Structure 1
Amino acid sequence: MTQDLFALTEFFAGGGLARMGLGPAWTCLFANDISEKKARVYRANFPEHQELCVQDISEVQPGMISGRATLAWASFPCQDLSLAGNGKGLHASRSGTFWPFWSLITALEGEGRGVPIVALENVGGLLTSNQGRDFAQLLTVLVESGYRPGAMLIDAAQFVPQSRPRLFIIAVKHDLDLPEELLCRPGARSPWHTPAISQAYERLPESIKRAWVWWDVPAPVMKVGSLRDVIEPEPRGVPWHSEAETARLLSLMSPLHIAKVRAAQASGELHVGTVYKRTRVEAGVKAQRAEVRFDDVSGCLRTPVGGSSRQLVLIVDQGKVRSRLLSVREAARLMGLPDSYRLPESYNEGYHVMGDAVAVPVVAWLERHLLRPLAHATMSIAL
């Protein structure tokens, strides 16, 4: 396949990880993000391109977008849809930025520059937000605009040692002749069509169900890397905790979690774990707890809002316990990025870019098995 065969527009682009996953078969006509801090990271990794527009999505006009894209990718903000967020839904200030994005897509359609494939990425909480009404409303807008949507819930842990389930809605224009090999017959199929997807589908109006597509994407068979391979022996910018700091961290663990640490110590072997601090209600009282996992999978990276949301590394080796923050390079590796990816000097800025991003290998898998075949299919219709 030749490079730059298909055209892409990337919205809520962050550090460009969706673009990284899509690879060299796609040329980016336009990219947008509101954050100048993220834009600096984007430009550092795509220095020869000038298509990035740093502006509120509601202020972007169709005339700013050149040409005609085959795919529009939008990883719109999840804070109002996440189970860990505020739960205000699709009409709140951050997740509600989907609507000006969609206004742009419909405006391009009105100019004769309609986009045949739209990919939306967000958290699984979109399926149940406002009792499923947000998901249904979003799909209704897609269908009324002439698209056929289908959804998959993909956990990045199938590709990298990080637990990161994300919802992917792939919608195509209704007149696109869909290749049979891309469709599940007769319906849902694991692993991507989870019970949550099936339940959300059952709640949809019949008009949406008629337009729905069950996408058939194979499960990966490659070996997922080890968490040990991600960890840097001596990372930059994140010093190891003192013995007192590590003891304080262990004191925040419940008996269940401290037992995991003691078992790792007793084994005398090397164990690499990750820790999040969380607020739990115990006997009616809120208490801060540190929760550790030694299953060779990191917890889901999140944007840093206060110290409790920063993921920690816990190393147990020959009975000794050490702890520190997860480094930004380690976070980038957990997102599937090569070490050649350029990161900012600021810890918070780098961690923020990674916590808000989409895992690169997941996008690459979708590109190979669904988006690229669909892009080829668009070449057979009159656009």
Structure 2
Amino acid sequence: MPTFYEFFAGGGMVRAGLGRNWRCLFANDVDLKKGATYTANWGVKHLHIGDVAKLGIGNLPAQADLAWASFPCQDLSLAGAGAGLEGDRSGTFWPFWDLMRQLGKEGRAPRMVVLENVCGALTSHGGKDFAAISSALTGSGYRFGAVIIDAVNFLPHSRPRLFIIGVAPENPIPKELTSEGPTQPWHTDGLMQAYGALSGRAKAKWIWWQFPQPLPRSQNFVDIIEDKPKGVKWHTAAETKQLLAMMSAVNIAKVKKAQQNGGRVIGAVYKRTRTNDAGEKVQRAEVRFDDVAGCLRTPAGGSSRQSILVIEGKKVRSRLLSPREAARLMGLPDDYILPQKYNEAYHIAGDGVAVPVVRFLAANLLERLLLVWKEELAAA
């Protein structure tokens, strides 16, 4: 059974995606509330709550096949303050990587490493942060490559994310898992530009990972919406009217078109700050009716909480997305235990990794690599 360390574990969505055929050796997060959710779903046996910078390799048992780190994105996000890997939050990558280096000195380096973050990590500090991560990997001997995977391929949820996958030098990589150059949709223009700016040393260790095309998505946004939601209340008629009043003419036109449909139509709504014709910054409500939700975020203020519009002819109702609906957008099963408080539950979902994306990576790369290595070891 393959083994893993799960850093910045949150509610354990990586663990959910890897599945029961993987064994967790160690999990870590600094947040007590996230730790409580992790414990509720996975138990406390392998969980360590605390600052990653205060961990030592004595905390990490054995040698893991995989170390997964979904390190904080706030300083790398296009919506952040631009501190990058020098920031207090995204900068926690460095103490994590110091642990990986120390494990390497002991001969216990993980055979594979997966780093997950927002796509803004490619351009943060003019690409210097991505180059620094690449140098960290190559400096420890890892061969690596990166892909962009959007959760919308598997879920009704627009969530493109960067995945950097590294393999320790002593482990062979089958040719069928790689390509000679970039392939769509995994290697976007932005990723190729970031690759082009890497050092010659990093490019020499680069791998163009190859993945099969995902099967057509079978689920739409309407499919995850609860008829009788828990944890949220429907807006009053006045609150719905106020939400509609925050829409631009373009978005009001979308609502009117949905009303003309005659049936039940559900749209996803976000509040965003936009500049109006007078050059003033105003808060706008923007709706989409393409059967896909906008990217979930953590609820750092009411504007980042997603709402829904339910339109049935002339009738228009609105409310916040429920905690369970948010969890479903991340691919979590309905028996996943969520916090009781709305913001805490929404935070768990908005700060996580889409479960089917983890499964896709595991099934089409990580587990295939491990199988090859196991066969080679048996033949030796």
* TM-score range normalised by the length of the shorter chain: over 0.9
1:140 to 132, 135, 153: 135
Return the letter of the residue paired with 1:319.
K
Q: Offset at 1:374?
A: 1.7
Return the letter of the residue paired with 2:4.
L
Q: Does 1:305 align with 2:328?
A: no
Q: RMSD between aligned alpha carbons?
A: 1.2
Q: Does 1:201 align with 2:184?
A: no
Q: Does 1:43 align with 2:39?
A: yes
Return the letter of the residue paired with 1:34.
V
Q: How does 1:280-291 map to 2 (within 5 A)?
A: 280-282=274-276, 283-291=278-286
Could you say which residue in structure 2 is the equivalent of 1:104? 99
Q: Offset at 1:194?
A: 1.0
1:300 partner SS: coil
For 1:45 and 1:329, locate their aligned partners in 2 and report how far apart those are by CA, in whole Å: 15
Q: How does 1:1-383 map to 2 (within 5 A)?
A: 5-47=1-43, 49-184=44-179, 186-282=180-276, 283-379=278-374, 380=376
Q: Offset at 1:381?
A: 6.3
Q: Offset at 1:26?
A: 0.9
Q: Deviations over 1:24-66 (max 9, x none)?
A: 221000000001100111111113x500000000011111111
Q: Offset at 1:97?
A: 0.3
For structure 2, the residue ranges without an aligned partner over 5 or more in a row are none
Return the letter of the residue paired with 2:94.
W
Percent of aligned pairs with the same amino acid: 55
For 1:71 and 1:127, locate their aligned partners in 2 and report how far apart those are by CA, in whole Å: 23
The structure-2 alpha-carbon separation of the partners of 1:259 and 1:306, relative to structure 1 and needing over 3 Å to count, comes to: same
Preserved CA contact (<8 Å) 1:264 1:319: no
Q: Offset at 1:222?
A: 3.7
For structure 1, the residue ranges without an aligned partner over 5 or more in a row are none
Q: Deviations over 1:239-269 (max 9, x none)?
A: 0000000000000000000110011112212
TM norm structure 1: 0.96
Q: Offset at 1:280?
A: 0.6
Preserved CA contact (<8 Å) 1:127 1:134: yes
Q: Deviations over 1:349-374 (max 9, x none)?
A: 11001110000000000000001112
For 2:229 and 2:98, locate their aligned partners in 1 and report how far apart those are by CA, in whole Å: 44
Q: Offset at 1:181?
A: 1.1
For 1:227 and 1:168, locate their aligned partners in 2 and report how far apart those are by CA, in whole Å: 25
1:14 partner SS: coil
2:281 partner SS: strand
For 2:183 and 2:147, locate their aligned partners in 1 and report how far apart those are by CA, in whole Å: 10
For 1:129 and 1:109, locate their aligned partners in 2 and report how far apart those are by CA, in whole Å: 28
Preserved CA contact (<8 Å) 2:104 2:140: no
Preserved CA contact (<8 Å) 1:302 1:310: yes
TM norm structure 2: 0.97
Return the letter of the residue paired with 1:214.
W
